[in-house]
Structure 1
Amino acid sequence: MNKEFYELIIDYNFVKKYDVKALEKALILPFFEDEIYTSCAVCKKSDIKFAKTCFFNITKFLEFKSEEILFYLSDIEKRIALYNLSLEVVKTNSTQECIEEFLTLLLDFSIEKRASDIHFETHNDYLCIKFRIDGKLKHIINFHKNFYKVISSIIKLKASLDITQYKLALDGRFSKSIQNSIYDFRVSILPTLYGESIVLRILDNKTIDKKLNALEFSSNIFKSLEEISSLTQGLVLVCGPTGSGKTTTLYSLLKSLDYKNKKIITVEEPVEYKIKNICQINIDKKRGLSFNSVLKNILRQDPDIIFIGEIRDSLSLQIAIQASLTGHLVLSTIHSSNALNAISRLLDLKCQNFLLSSTLKYIFYQRLVLKVCPFCNFKGCYKCNYTKYLGRTVIAEVIKIDEVLSSLISKNETFDSFKTYLNTIKFKNILDDAKEKVKKSLTTLDEVYKVLGFEDEV
C-alpha cells in the first residue's frame, strides 16, 4: 500500500535538482533517491515520459492527487530552507542560531499561509508539521524524528517551560515580531506514545480589530447586532461549536459598545486577545482564581457590561441572570445545535422560566463556511493552496426575544410552539442564510451541507 504524503520525508535537495516549473507542468514530484531507485509522485494527468527522461535509476511511481503534487511543489524555496536547517541543526548538535532561524522561518511561513494553529506531531519515525488554515488541517512538511527534541526544547524555552519535562501536559505563551507585527503564540504540549504533540495557537490581534460591519453577516443579522448597542441590560447569547467565530463576533461587539464611558469586565479561560480599555480577567485555577469565585464577586466591581466566556453550569447561568436583572448587559456563549435549542439548554440548567423570559434578549447561532477562491474560480491555484477555497465567511441565524417568545418561555411551552410562532414571523434559519450566500457564489452548497451536518443530502 502506498504511503500518504503526510507519512513521507521529502528530500527537498533532491527536488531542487530539477526545474520546478517543468515539474509542475508535468505534474511530477520526485521525493527520494538511493543508488538503485528514484521515488516520485504522479497522478492520472502526469507526463510519465517526462519523468522517465529525468530519472536514470529504476523509478517507483506513487499515485497521488494532482493538487497534492502542486501543493508540495509550491513555496519550494521555503521548504528547502526548512529542510536544510533541520539537517544542519541535527548535524551540528543544535546550534542556537540555526534553531532560531528555523523557528523564525516556520512562524513566518505560517503567517503567510494565514494559519491559525501550528501542529507538531511526533510519530514512530518522523516529525510532522501541519497548519490549520481556514479551519482545516493542512499537512506542510515532515522531518526526521531526531529533530523533534530540538524543536520541542526551543518552543519550551520561548514559552518559559521546563525543557527537561517530556511526560506532563504543559501550557505556556510567547510573543514574537513577524513581518512588522507582534503575534502571540499560545503553547499546548501533551505527551504521546512516540514523543509529544505540540500546538501553537497563533493569536493575531488584527482578527479582533474588525468592526461588526466587516464580519460579513447578512443584513438582518447585522441589524440585530447593531441593536444590542442600545441595550442597557439583559442577556445576549452567541452560540456555535469551537471554531465557529464566536470569539471574533463577541469581541467585535464589545468594541462597538461605548467602552470609554462604561465599565466592561470579561471573564475568560483563557484570555486570548487583549483589548484596550476593557478589564479582562484570566481564569487561573492554579492560583486560586476560579471561574466561580470570579463570578461570585464580579458585581461588586460595579460593571455596566459583563462578558462571560461560557455559561457552563447552573451557577454561571444564575449569576448571568442575576446581573441581567439588576441593570447589567451580559454577553456570553452556550453550547447548542441552533438558536432555538439554546433556550432548552438554559432551562436544562435549572433556570426559572419567568426569570429567563424577562432577561433573555437575543440568541445568535453561527458557523463558518469556506469561501470560493476568487483567484481561480473554483479550479485550484497557489493562492488557495489548490483547495479551491480561500478564507471563510459567516452564516448565522438570530432569534430576538419579543413579547410573544418571552410569554412562551414564561409559560414553559413546547418546542413545537416556539417553531410554530417562528414560522409565522418568517424566521430565517441558518440554512436559509447559507443558501443566500450560495446564490451570491460566495460558497457552495456542498460546503454548507458539510458544515451543517447534512452530508447525506449532497
Structure 2
Amino acid sequence: MLDRLFSVYQVANLLGSDAKGVTNWLDMGWLQSKRMPDGSVKISEKSLINFLQKRGIDIEELMAKISMQEGKLPDDPDSSAETSEQSVASTEESSPKEIEQSAEATLPAIVGAPRPQPASSGDPVNEAADALLQDAVANRVSHIHLEPSGEGLSLRMRIDGVVHDNSNLRIQLSKPAAPHLIQCFKDLANLDSTTRPQKGQFHSTIADREFQFHVVTCPTVFGEKVVVEVDELDRTILELPELGLPDDNLSLMRRLLKQSYGVILITGPPRNGKTTTLQAMLSEMKASGRSMVALERGREIRLDGVTRCRVPEANLTFAQALTAFRGQDPDVVMLGDVTDPAVDVVNAALDGVLIMGSLFARSTVVAVRMMLEVTPRWAVAAGLLAVVDQRLIRRICPGCKQQADLSEQMLEELGLRAGEIDFPVYQGFGCKKCSNTGYLGRIGVFSVLHVDETIAAMLRKGPEPGDILKSLRGAMKTTREAGLAKVRAGITSLTEFARIFPSAR
C-alpha cells in the first residue's frame, strides 16, 4: 500500500487540531515532513502513525477516519507553496520553550491523547499548578479561586464554606506568570484559549485518592477568572445519624422514611448540605426493597441501587422528568429542585410515591407558604409529611479549641442579648490541623416541622403558616435556636453562629 501524504492542514483536520499546532509538532521533531518539488510540506501516513504510537495513543479511530474520508479530505484554504512556507515559519519568532508548551497543549484530543499533568514537564507554572492542587486537597478546599487584579493573581480557597486568602499555600507567582497559570488549568480542562465563559473538567490522582476537578472561566476587567471545584469521586457518603440531627429529629426522620407516600421537603440556602441530607435519606432506605429514582440537576447522588437522571443533560424540566418517571413504577423519587410551580410533587405523592425534594426557602414557614401558592390546601394537608429547614455551621477545631472571653460589646456587635448567653463559649484559634482557620469540618443545624394530624387540620382550615408556627412555639426549634444549642454544647463558636444567623437589627 502506498504511503499516503497529507498537508499540514489535512493532518490538523484529521486530529481536531489546527495548522499551528501541527507546525509546532514539526518544529519539535515529533512529526517528520517531506518537502515536495512544488515547495509544499507534506506529512506521510507512516510518520503520523509513528507520532501517535510513541505517545501510547490508539490509532484505530484515526485509521477509521482516514478510510472514511479517503479522497475527501479538504485541501488547504490556500495550498500554494508560499502559504505552506509561511505556516512552517510562523513559529520561528517563538522561543523553543514556548514552542514546546504550545506543542504539548495541542496534542490531539480526538484520539484520546491525555492532556499533560501539571508536574510532568518541570515547568515552573505547571509545578505551581500541581502544588496548588495538592495543597487544596490537603487543606480540605472545595473551590480554588484564581482572581486576576491590577497587581497580579490572587489565590483564594473556600474551606468549610468560607473563602480564605492564600496565606498557607506554597504558591508564589510573579505578575507575568499569572496568565500562564490560568492557561495551564484551561489546558487541563480541554478549554480553548479564548476569553469567553467556558466549563470543563479533568481527573487526577492525589495522595492515592481520585479527584475530578471542574473548571469554570469568566472574563473580568483584569483578565480571566478561573474557579476550580474539587470533587473527590470516592468520598464517604454520610449516613443519617452523622448529619447532626438531634435524637428526637433522627427518630422522626426514620419513621417518615418508612412511609409509602408523601412529601418531605429539605429547605435552606444554596451550599448548605441539602443534597447531602437527601443522599443520607436515600442511603437509609437502600435495603428497604424499594425502587428509587434520583432526578438531579448535576453530579449529586452517588449511591448504588438508585436510578439517576441528570435532568438538564436529558433536555428535560424537573416537571417533565417527574411525569416521565412516574410511569416507571417508582417507590421513592428524589427531586433536586422543586422550586418550579409546574413540579406537582404533592399530587405525585398522593399517587403512592414517597417524594423527597430540595427547595430554596428561608424557613419552614416560607416553604409551606410556597406549597400553598401552587397546590390546594386539602392536597398539602394530605400529602406533606415534613419540612426540614437546615444550615451548615462550622465545627471548632479540637486541636486549637479554647474558652473565649465574652463582653457586652461583643454581644452587641453580634446582635445578641446578654441573657441569651449564660454558658461558657469556645473559639478555635488556628493550628496546622485546621489550616489555621480555627474550624474543622461542618455539621448540620436543623428545624423539623412534622405535619401531623393537628397541623394537617390547621392547614385544611386556613390559618397562615406563620400562625401555625407560632402555635408550635416551644414544641419545635427554629434553626437559630438549634444553632445556639450547638454553641452551648461547645461544638461551634459564637462568631460562627452570628455569621450563619446574622442579627436583623
Kept in 1, the 8 Å contact 2:388–2:449? The answer is yes
**1:371 corresponding residue in structure 2:** 395
Report the Cα offset of residue 357 of structure 1. 0.9
Structure 1 residues 159 and 443, CA, compared in 2 at 3 Å: closer, same or farther?
A: same
* Aligned partner letter, 2:193: T
Report the Cα offset of residue 223 of structure 1. 1.9
Unpaired runs of 5+ in structure 1?
Answer: 1-88
- 1:387 counterpart = 2:437: yes
Report the Cα offset of residue 219 of structure 1. 1.5
**2:153 corresponding residue in structure 1:** 127
Report the Cα offset of residue 110 of structure 1. 0.5
**2:186 corresponding residue in structure 1:** 156
Q: How does 1:67-216 map to 2 (within 5 A)?
A: 97=121, 98=123, 100-140=126-166, 143-161=173-191, 163-167=192-196, 169-205=197-233, 207=235, 209-216=237-244
**1:31 corresponding residue in structure 2:** none
Cα distance in 1 for partners of 2:454, 2:235 equals 37
Cα distance in 2 for partners of 1:431, 1:268 equals 29
**2:447 corresponding residue in structure 1:** 397
Q: 2:372 pairs with 347, 357, 364, which one?
A: 347
**1:277 corresponding residue in structure 2:** 305
Cα distance in 1 for partners of 2:177, 2:307 equals 42
Matched pairs, number: 361
Cα distance in 1 for partners of 2:311, 2:280 equals 21
Once the two structures are superposed, what CA deviation does each residue of 1:309-336 show, in whole Å capped at 9, x if it has no partner?
11122111x1x12220111111111122
Structure 1 residues 93 and 160, CA, compared in 2 at 3 Å: closer, same or farther?
A: closer
Structure 1 residues 200 and 260, CA, compared in 2 at 3 Å: closer, same or farther?
A: farther
Q: How does 1:415-454 map to 2 (within 5 A)?
A: 415-423=465-473, 426-454=475-503
**1:314 corresponding residue in structure 2:** 341
**2:29 corresponding residue in structure 1:** none
Once the two structures are superposed, what CA deviation does each residue of 1:95-132 show, in whole Å capped at 9, x if it has no partner?
85135543332211101101111111122231121110
Report the Cα offset of residue 358 of structure 1. 0.7
Compute the TM-score of the two structures, normalised by the length of structure 1: 0.73
Kept in 2, the 8 Å contact 1:120–1:199? The answer is yes
Structure 1 residues 229 and 249, CA, compared in 2 at 3 Å: closer, same or farther?
A: same
Cα distance in 2 for partners of 1:147, 1:134 equals 29
**Corresponding residue SS for 1:197:** strand
Structure 1 residues 370 and 356, CA, compared in 2 at 3 Å: closer, same or farther?
A: same
Cα distance in 2 for partners of 1:257, 1:134 equals 28
Kept in 1, the 8 Å contact 2:338–2:359? The answer is yes
Structure 1 residues 361 and 207, CA, compared in 2 at 3 Å: closer, same or farther?
A: farther
**Corresponding residue SS for 1:314:** coil
Cα distance in 1 for partners of 2:253, 2:188 equals 39
- State the superposition RMSD in angstroms: 2.5
**2:329 corresponding residue in structure 1:** 302
Kept in 1, the 8 Å contact 2:265–2:356? The answer is yes
- 1:225 counterpart = 2:253: yes
Larger-Rg structure: 2
Kept in 2, the 8 Å contact 1:271–1:282? The answer is yes
Cα distance in 1 for partners of 2:332, 2:466 equals 34
Once the two structures are superposed, what CA deviation does each residue of 1:317-356 show, in whole Å capped at 9, x if it has no partner?
x1x12220111111111122112221012223x2111111
Kept in 2, the 8 Å contact 1:218–1:433? The answer is no
Structure 1 residues 223 and 129, CA, compared in 2 at 3 Å: closer, same or farther?
A: same
**Corresponding residue SS for 1:160:** coil
**Corresponding residue SS for 2:202:** strand
Once the two structures are superposed, what CA deviation does each residue of 1:365-403 show, in whole Å capped at 9, x if it has no partner?
111112222111233322233333222222111011001
Kept in 2, the 8 Å contact 1:239–1:339? The answer is yes
Cα distance in 2 for partners of 1:306, 1:199 equals 32
**2:315 corresponding residue in structure 1:** 288
Report the Cα offset of residue 239 of structure 1. 0.7
Cα distance in 2 for partners of 1:211, 1:415 equals 31
Q: Sequence identity of aligned pairs in percent?
A: 24
Cα distance in 1 for partners of 2:151, 2:443 equals 38
Compute the TM-score of the two structures, normalised by the length of structure 2: 0.66
Kept in 1, the 8 Å contact 2:318–2:337? The answer is no
**1:335 corresponding residue in structure 2:** 360
**Corresponding residue SS for 2:469:** helix
Cα distance in 2 for partners of 1:200, 1:158 equals 11
Cα distance in 2 for partners of 1:213, 1:253 equals 10
Report the Cα offset of residue 292 of structure 1. 3.8
Unpaired runs of 5+ in structure 2?
Answer: 1-96, 105-115, 402-427
Q: How does 1:39-54 map to 2 (within 5 A)?
A: none
Kept in 2, the 8 Å contact 1:339–1:365? The answer is yes
Report the Cα offset of residue 282 of structure 1. 1.2
**2:109 corresponding residue in structure 1:** none
Structure 1 residues 174 and 119, CA, compared in 2 at 3 Å: closer, same or farther?
A: same
Report the Cα offset of residue 173 of structure 1. 2.5
Kept in 2, the 8 Å contact 1:203–1:273? The answer is no
